[in-house]
Every structure is written in structure tokens, then in C-alpha cells.
Chains A and B, each alone.
Chain A
Amino acid sequence: MIVETISNTLIVLSLLFMFFGVYGIFRFTDFYSRILISSKVETVGFLTLMAGIMLKNGFGYSTLKIMFICLVVIVTNPLSTHAVARSALVSGYKISKENEG
């Protein structure tokens, strides 16, 4: 019973995190701000959601597989975000004037 409550709380918290990420990519006006907010908040939301689901699932092979997917996402999500930001920087994308400083 208490485990169910904790896992539901974690899942609602992860939905809140992901809402901040989705709101941030509309609120900010510059590309680098958008990619900063989205990468961090997305990774935290994913991990919190998976923690809630693993807690709800209990012990077993499914939980082990979800943990392996979490490891893969921890490695690959910042790498792909870094690749996109590096692509923008190398291609010569400049921060617009009103966002400097």
C-alpha cells in the first residue's frame, strides 16, 4: 500500500518535470537555452518515471530490463543532445542580440 503511494508520487513528480521541459522549449527564445532546459529536464523526468514504474512492478526480469533501458538512456540521451548542440556551434549558429549577456 505504501509502496503504491510512493510510486504514484514519483510518477506524478516525473510528469511535472516533463511539463517543465515541454513548457521551457516554448518559453525560451534562443536555441541554446532551449536545448539546455530540454536535455536536463528530460533525463530527470525519464529516470523518475522509470523509478516509479520499477517500484510498482516489484522484483523480476521486467524490472531488470527496465533498469538496463535506464542505463542505456543515461548514456545516450546527453550524448545525442551534445551532438545536436555541437552541430549548431560548428555550423556557425549565433546567439541572437537580445539574448546576450
Chain B
Amino acid sequence: MDTKWKKKGSGKWIYFGFTLIPVALYSFFYVYSVINGVRYSFTDWDGMSTTFHIVGFKNYISLFKNPNFWGSLKTTVCYSILLVAGVVTLSLALSLSLNSLKKFRTFTKSVFFVPAMIGGITIALIWDQLFYRVVPLVGQALGIGWLSQSLLMTGKTALPAVVFVHIWQAVALPTVIFVAGLQQIPDEQYESAKMDGATPFQRFRFVTFPYLVPTLTVNLVLMIKQGFTSFDFPFALTGGGPVRSTEVIGILIYNDAFKNMRFSMANAEACVLFLVVAVFSLTQLKLTSKGGVHE
């Protein structure tokens, strides 16, 4: 009995030992920088001066008075909602159909995974050309007015167009996670549901979905985070335009830090963004933790 306990205990310590290195790296590269960033948001540092002053909440106050900041926040929220809704529904549909495939499952899965392996900027540049050269031709052929010009050209269509490209790339990983989740569902559950006379929709609603909730939580957190911190797609596709219609907070922060030399203001913006992401993530964790099968 005694030796058994000892064994168990020392095993625990070894596992704990393995976490030490990541924790150390994490604290140095992440925690330290975050604390520093928060500190700078209370100063008037311009990004290169040797001295700076603590100015308290001045940056935050002028930020909240700035309509451009609120506009950018609104754009970011819209962007995230569109992205999360698009990615989750699409990846769910994709994973369900991939899971029901009898043949070529691995091959099809890898085909759908290709966009995830291409860098964001590369994809943005490819789509930039497609939006300019190909999409308008399709629109003209079909006689659809809004599709007959580049979608990145008008304020109304630019944001959905950028999100569309982001979805195109981002859908791969959640699909794989969903497929993994689907494969964990025991077949007996479906069999018994069938015997009870459940329709396909009922089987999805009462068997598949509860088992998928933990996976859904993971995917939602991933996507919300991606949506709020998005930078590469809007930056490469539109540069924030036309007329700020795709200026997500990431771009605002970049411009303030490196173009306008207002590092402290950029840090304040980043802090607000952090709070927003935290609130959204916690709310959705709370919502999805109820119900579902947690093993």
C-alpha cells in the first residue's frame, strides 16, 4: 500500500516537473509583457522617448470619448459574430457530412484542411486578386448588381467579404475537432434512439448535440478569440478601408502604435480589447457549461 502511494506521488511530481518549463517561458514572454503593457497604458509613452510620465486614466478617458474607437469596437464585434456564426455552422455541417462518408474519409478531410496550412497573408493576397478580377465577372454573368464590382469597394460589402475569406481559412480546424468529437459518440446511443423511433433531426438534437457540446465550447472559444484579435485578413485585404468599415481593433492598435506614435494609447486600446474578449469568452463558457455530456 505504502509503495503504491509513493509511486503515485512521485509520478505526480514528475508530471508537475514537466510543466515548469512552459510555465517559466509563459510567465516571461506572456505574463511579464502583459503586465508591462498594462503599465504603459497609464503613461504618455510615445514609443521611443527615453522618459515618460504616469498620466493615470487619461488615455482611457480620451479613448472612450473617441467615436472612431467605438466605431472600431463595433466593427470588431460584428466581425467576430459573423466569423463565429459562419465558422461554427459550416464546420458543424462539414463534420457531419465528413463523418457520414464511408470511403475516402481521410483524403476528403485532408483536402478540407489545406486552407488552414496556408498563411493568412498569402490567402488574403490570393483573394484580393479574386475579388478584383474574378468575382465581378461572376456577378456580371449572373446579373447581380452588388456582385458586379469588387466587394472590397463599398463599405457595406467589404466587412462580409473580409469575414468570408477568414471563414474560408478558419473552418478547417474546428471541422477536425468536431469530427473527433463525433467519433466519440457510442453507436449504441444511435441504435437505441432509432429503436425508440427518433427522426434524424431528433437523433441530432438529443444524441449528437449533447455529446458535441464540450467540443463546441472549445471551438467557440477559439473562434471568438480569432475574431476579436483578427488583424492579418483585414490589413492585407483592405487596410481598414473603405472609410474605416473594416478597421478592426487590431488595425487601430497597429496604426496608433507604429504610424501615429502613440504607444500608450495603443496599449490602452489593447487592454480594453482584452477585457472585451474576456467578457465574451466567460459568458459563452458559462452558457455552454450547462447541459451536454461532460465526461
Partners in one complex: no
